[in-house]
Copies of this chain bind each other. A is one copy, B any other.
Amino acid sequence: MIILVTIRDVAKLAGVSQATVSRVLNGTAGVDPEKEKRVINAVNETGFKPNEVARSLFRKSSRIIGYVVPSILNLFLNEIGRAIEDEAFQHGFRVILCNTDEKPEKESLYINMLSSMNADGAVIISNNNGLEAEISSCGFPVVVLDQKIDERYSAISVQCDNYQGGYLAAEHLVQCGCRKIVQMRGPQKYISGVDRFRGYLDVCEKYGIEPRYVDSNYDFESGLECARKILSTFPDADGILASSDMTALSFYKILCQSGRRVPEDVMIVGYDNVRLSTLVTPEFTTVAQPMEKIGRLAVQLIADKISGQKEVPPNHMLPVELKARQTTTLKDRTLS
């Protein structure tokens, strides 16, 4: 068993009071250099490490932030999580992983947990509107991703320009020469799904193209299903706007099974630019969301909010960028 050294032990050994030890450790007040040296020696000798729990109790802050997501297995969320951990570390925060499986009860449970742990903030991804009350009353700053924030509600929002993403992706296909473009439309309960669809529709209108779409989710399985539906409903499709890089992968797989080639017969644009999209062959053209920036910004906003030094605006929009790679190409117009 480990014998734990307390501040009292150090004080006794150094022949000073606990208060003095605390002051040396935190630099909160001047201490006689001679005593300071004795304290430092005593700390080294005993191997004293301040108990963070006791500190948290007094300070009402545990320097913990929660990352509350449906599942960390989602590569997009995973990359954001990595950035959050890194930025948090630099700010002296630790991050607690909270997988909710999209279950409202797990969401509430984790938020309450964080609250009773004196957490200092949370980054949350959820499509559960019932969470607003909990978020407003949890006692720490919350950044929600990919959701617009109601004015009267205290969270901070970070999202990417989904309209622009939908627009860029669609226009890219048009410029490559596609005319029968089908969108694997993301869930309309998410603002991301709605805005990207709007972007796509505007491109269709601009170029006089008839909009086509089939609903999908963002995960691989729903992508497979959607892909099959597209191949049977729109067998002449020549360009696909996937809802994510995962569903782009699904589409590619189904397409290969049907004997069609990418990009010669059908072009595909993914969404997110998860690292995976450049690892596979062919590399996937995709709309890049700045995942690292999202994660870092989220943590910075929390840090700003805690410090209270600057005003933190409630809504933050990040730009997206099209990455043209091997699943799209300029179509050889001599054939058509």
Residues in chain A within 8 A of chain B (CB atoms): 2, 4, 49-54, 56-57, 62, 64, 67, 71-73, 78-79, 81-82, 85-86, 89, 94-99, 106, 112-113, 115-118, 137-139, 220, 246, 249-250, 252-253, 256, 275-276, 279-281
Given known A220-B279, A280-B249, A280-B280, contact A72–B85 (CB-CB < 8 A): yes
What residues of B have a CB within 8 angstroms of the CB of A72 in the complex?
72, 78, 81-82, 85
- Give every chain B residue within 8 A of A138 (Cβ-Cβ): 2
With A and B bound together, what is the CA distance between A51 and B117 in angstroms? 7
Residue numbers in B under 8 Å from A253 (CB-CB): 279-281
- In the bound assembly, the distance between CA atoms of A321 and B139 in angstroms comes to 48
Q: Is the CB of A71 within 8 A of B82?
A: yes
Of the listed residues A49, A106, A276, the one surrounded by the most CB atoms of chain B closer than 10 A to its CB is A276
Central interface residue in A67, A71, A94, by most chain B CB within 10 Å: A94
The residues of B that contact A99 with a CB separation of less than 8 Å are 82, 85-86, 89
Roughly how many angstroms separate A279 CA and B220 CA in the complex, as a whole number?
8
> How many chain copies?
2
The interface residues of chain B lying within 8 Å CB-to-CB of A139 are 2, 4
Report whether B249 and A279 are in contact in the complex, using a CB–CB cutoff of 8 Å: yes
**Is there contact, CB below 8 Å, between B281 and A116?**
no
A53 touches B49 (CB 8 A): no
A137 touches which one: B2, B106, B275 (CB < 8 A)? B2
C-alpha gap A319/B118 in the complex (Å)? 42
The answer to whether B115 and A49 touch across the interface, beta carbons within 8 angstroms, is: yes
With most chain B CB atoms within 10 A of its CB, the pick from A62, A138, A281 is: A281
Structural contact, B62 and A246, CB atoms closer than 8 A? no
Q: A275 and B73 in contact (CB under 8 A), knowing A99-B82, A253-B281, A280-B280?
A: yes
Contact partners of A82 in chain B: CB under 8 A: 71-73, 99
Q: How far is the CA of A258 from the CA of B85 in the complex (A)?
A: 39
Closest-by-CB residue of B relative to A138 is B2
Whether B54 and A81, one on each chain, are in contact in the complex, defined by CB atoms closer than 8 angstroms, is no
Chain B residues whose C-beta falls within 8 Å of the C-beta of A62 in the assembled complex: 53
A113–B57 alpha-carbon span in the complex (Å):
16
Interface CB pairs A-B, < 8 A, 15: A2-B137, A49-B115, A52-B116, A53-B56, A53-B57, A53-B116, A72-B82, A73-B78, A85-B97, A86-B99, A96-B96, A96-B97, A97-B97, A256-B281, A280-B280
Nearest-Cβ distance from residue A109 to partner chain B, whole angstroms: 9
A56 to B55: give the CA distance in the assembly, Å.
Answer: 12
- Which B residues lie within 8 Å of A71 (CB)? 82
Q: Which residues of B contact A275 (CB under 8 A)?
A: 73
Flag if A117 contacts B52 (CB, 8 Å): yes
